[in-house]
Every structure is written in C-alpha cells, then in structure tokens.
Amino acid sequence: MHDLLRQKLRELFKHHGTSLCEDAELCESLLFEVCAGKYKHEIVMLVDAIEEGVVKDLLNPPPDLQNEELFSHLVERLQENLGLKRKRAVWTVQSWEMALEEEVTTSHSPKVSPKPRAKKSSNSIEPVKRRIHRWLGAVGIIIGLLVGYLFFTDTEPRSGQLQEQSQASEVIQASAQQLQPQQPSDGSARPPQKSELQAPQEAETSPKVQVPQEAEASPKVQVPQEAETSPKVFRDRLPDGSLGPEMVVIPAGRFQMGDIRGEGEEDEQVHWVSVASFAMGRYEVTFAEYDRFAEATGRKMPSDNGWGRGNRPVIHLAWKDAMAYAQWLSQQTGQSYRLPTEAEWEYSARATTETARYWGNNPNKGCRYGNVRDETLKQEKNWSNIHNCTDGYVYTAPVGRFQPNAFGLFDMLGNAWEWTCSEYSKKYSGKEQRCVGNPSSKRPRSIRGGSWGSKPWLLRSAERGWDKPSRRNIYIGFRVARF
C-alpha cells in the first residue's frame, strides 16, 4: 500500500523500541510527524492495531496458535472489530510484522520473510524488559512534572457568556418559524417536532458579531444575509432550574461541501448539500457541562490529562459517551439534541465562506480564531510544522477565548477534534448527511475541526478525520446540535 510508511514505522521502532507499541497516542503522533500529514488513513489503521492488541500478540504470540494461524486470527480481528477490508487488514498486520522483525522470532505471515536476526552480545543490547522498566520510570517522572506544571482549572467566564433574564427575547429562524417550548413539569422529555426548531423562553439575542475581513462570503451559498452578522443565541432550561449549553440558530442553506479549493485529500470530493435550519452548540461541550451529566448519571468522569477542567473542552471520551450526553440533554430539556452530521458540521464551520478556513486562506492568522499548533506549542514540545503565530496555549484552551466565525460559533477549527454522528466513508455517498443507522456499529465515525496539535494543512473547514467509536484520547471532544 505505502512502502514509505512501512519504512518510517520500522525506523521509529528501532529508535523507540517497544515503547512505540505500548502507547497508541505516541505512535500516532510520531507517524503523523514523520509522514508530514500524509497516509492518515493507514496511520490510523496501524495505531488501531495497537489498541486491538495485534502488536502485543505479535510480540508475545499466544501459545495455542501456530504461526500462520496467528496471522489469520489477527487479520480477522481487525476485519471484525474495525470493519476493515481483508486487503487492508492484511497490510496492517504485515506492516507491524516487518517493523517488529528484530523482536519477533518468526514471521506469522506467509508473505513476509523477516531477515535472520544477527547474534547479539549479552553486553551489546539491553534486555527488553529492562528497557521497558527504564522507559516506564522515565515516563512516570516526566508525566509527574508535566501534570504539576500544567494543572489548573480556569474559572473565568466564556467570551460572550449569556446571563439568564426574566424577559426572553425573540429567536428568529431563516424559515420564519417560531415556537415556545413547553417545560415538562415532571422532568420527562416531550417528543420534539422534527420540522420545527423551538425557541426557549430563556432565549436572548447575542451581541452583533462582525464578519472577519479575511472571510469571503460565497455567492454560491444560499443563506439570508442577516444571518452572517447577527447570530441568535438561546439556552434550554433543565428541570433543576439550571441552563443547558448555549445554542446558535443556524439558518437553512445550500453549499458546496468538500475541497472546493483543491488543497485537500481524495476523500474531500466537492458536491452540493442542502441543510435545514437547526441550532449548533456555540462552544465545544466543556468539562463543567459534561461533569454535571456524569455526576447525575453515575458515569465515570473523563481525565483532563492534568490540563484543567472547568471551561476547557471535554476530552478522553468515546463516541458513545458524547451520544449519551446528547440523549441525556434531550431527556432533561424535552428537546431533540444529538451530534451534528458531518454535512451540518462543515456547513456551520464554513459560515458562508468558500475559503480554506472561515477566517481566510492564510493559516498563520489562525491564532486569532482558535487554539492551534503554534509557537507556544513549539517552545514547549519542540514540534515542527506549526502555524507561525502565538495563541498563548500549549494544549487545550478554555472555550470562547478566540474570535468566532460569521455564524457566531467559537473554536470550530482547533482546540479539539469533534465527533459527528455520521459514519465515515472515504467517498461521499450520502452518509455524511445522516447519522449512523446502527449506534452499536463498530464502523469508524467522522471527526471534524482538528485540534490544538493539528498541522496547518489539517486545520481546514473541509478536512476530514475519522476514528473508531470506542477511541478515547487527548485530541477529541464534541459539540451538540438541536433540532
């Protein structure tokens, strides 16, 4: 499939040893770094093989499986758990066999013939277990120092945070429909009307948001002009009297989805999509909001990686965790919340623009509009391929700290990747316009928006990512949509 990627994997294993096989996030970060953003689908397959235990079984084969039986067993595991076609599953297992040939005593694949291992002096190479123990000890010390330095909880309010008012103002939709919600007296959910976006009594209009000068309004996007400068913001009330996340009314429209500038990858085919009016979360869901849900439902609270909770975007949560939050919010408010589809997400991120990013085409202006891979991160981690600007944050930033797009949405690019409800398909086939039919399916889900660690060419409105629904890591969060 890609011999260069296999070569890079072997080089990384020679340099990092078995630590590369035990830390999926480290492996993913290093592969993306050395491959300069290429081969993203194949890299995810290699990383998934770590999490599925494939690499572990190659290093320490189960005693009840012969060589060729083990190879077939591992291929079938990837096919079943990740939904990979056999050709891709075979390539993934073979790639790891080739990378591990200095550690694996025999090859389990009939198609791969590792070179014979050279005799090693007992004093020339340190035993594997000792290397692992030393590596774990060093990592433990580094993590301890990093957590002590980085951990704090931000208590400042979000940019433009709304205060509850006794007199609600009017929320206007592009379709001119307007309804008042009925607050359930017993806390139970009322079935939502799919054709109507209801404005809660607590709703109020937000201050006028200026369109960035770099953002070019698209003449091909059919959206009411006033929607670009006057976002309508509201919050639903929960039974305990508290307020849900801030939501922005997104007008109905039609746009060209995909890589309209010819700068992206093969999975970003350009096509027309129509989007009905709905409401999008003004911010990514925060730790404070998710922790309230976790406490109410008895769920485990996700790790903040020592970066602080509060108004920072929640991370370390799987797709099903994000879906569960949206379902709980629906039950609490009597409204219809879910994750946005991939098409709804891109339409909201573009906010009538046809530029690569909603602030324009220059990635180095990104620090005004989001938390990106910048000079701050380079100084801390010595990473290359950065945005040539400074946003002041190494890892995640509190939501709403930067300028919004023309729809009034914050952090649509950068800070954290965002789960969508859509199944990922390499070729747009309509799946991007609907939620996955079987929530328990193990097929990969689309993620959008990039993160604090994404390279400049990955931080575009059309950029697509994907991950398996069970994945939890430091890069992925989410925001909700309401219908």
Distance of CA 350 to the CA centre of its chain: 17
Segment 28-53, tens digit of pLDDT: 878 877 887 678 778 888 988 998 89
DSSP calls for 47-82? HHHHHTTHHHHHHS--TTS-HHHHHHHHHHHHHHHH
DSSP 1: -
Long-range CB contact pairs, 39-42, < 8 A, 24+: 39/2, 39/4, 39/5, 40/265, 40/465, 41/267, 41/426, 41/466, 42/1, 42/2, 42/5, 42/91
CATH classification of 204-482, choosing from 3.30.420.40, 3.40.640.10, 3.90.1580.10, 3.40.50.720? 3.90.1580.10
- Residue 14: how many other CB atoms lie within 10 Å: 11
Cα within 13 Å of Cα(279), Cβ side: 31
- Identify the pLDDT of residue 79: 83
Catalogue the E-assigned strands of 343-475. 417-423, 445-448, 464-467
Tell me what pLDDT residue 206 has: 39
In 153-240 the beta strands, taken as DSSP E runs, fall at 204-205, 232-234
Q: Does position 274 have pLDDT exceeding 80, yes or no?
A: yes
169-193 residue pLDDT tens: 333 333 334 333 333 333 333 333 3
Give the pLDDT confidence score for residue 473 in this predicted structure: 94
Beta bridge partners of 472: none
If pLDDT is split at 50, 70 and 90, which confidence band does 103 have?
A: low
Q: What mean pLDDT value characterizes the chain?
A: 79
Name the β-bridge partners of 281: 247
Sheet holding 204-205, edge to edge: 204-205, 232-234, 247-250, 278-281, 481-482, 337-338
Find which of 26-30, 106-110, 147-151, 224-228 is predicted with most confidence, using mean pLDDT: 26-30
Domain boundaries, the chain: 3-110+129-144, 204-482
Higher pLDDT, 400 or 83: 400
pLDDT tens across 374-394, in order? Answer: 999 999 999 989 999 999 999
Task: Please answer whether residues 218 and 420 qualify as being in contact, where contact means their C-beta atoms are separated by less than 8 angstroms.
Answer: no
Residue 296 phi, psi dihedral angles, 5° rounding: -70, -30
Instruction: Output b/e per residue, 37-57; b: 16+ Cβ within 10 A.
Output: bebbbbbbbbbbbbbbebbeb
pLDDT confidence of 3, banded at 50, 70, 90? confident
Angle between helices 24-34 and 40-51 (to 10 degrees): 160
Which residues have a Cβ under 8 Å from the Cβ of 7 and sit 6 or more positions away? none
Answer whether 369's CB lies under 8 Å from 212's CB. yes
Q: 285-328: per-residue pLDDT in tens?
A: 999 999 999 999 999 999 999 999 999 999 999 999 999 999 99
Of the candidates 418, 285, 251, the one whose C-alpha atom is nearest the C-alpha of residue 342 is 418
Ranked by mean pLDDT, the top range of 7-11, 79-83, 164-168, 256-260 is 256-260
Tokens 């399916």 found at:
441
Residue found under tokens 């591992």: 74
pLDDT greater than 80 at residue 423: yes
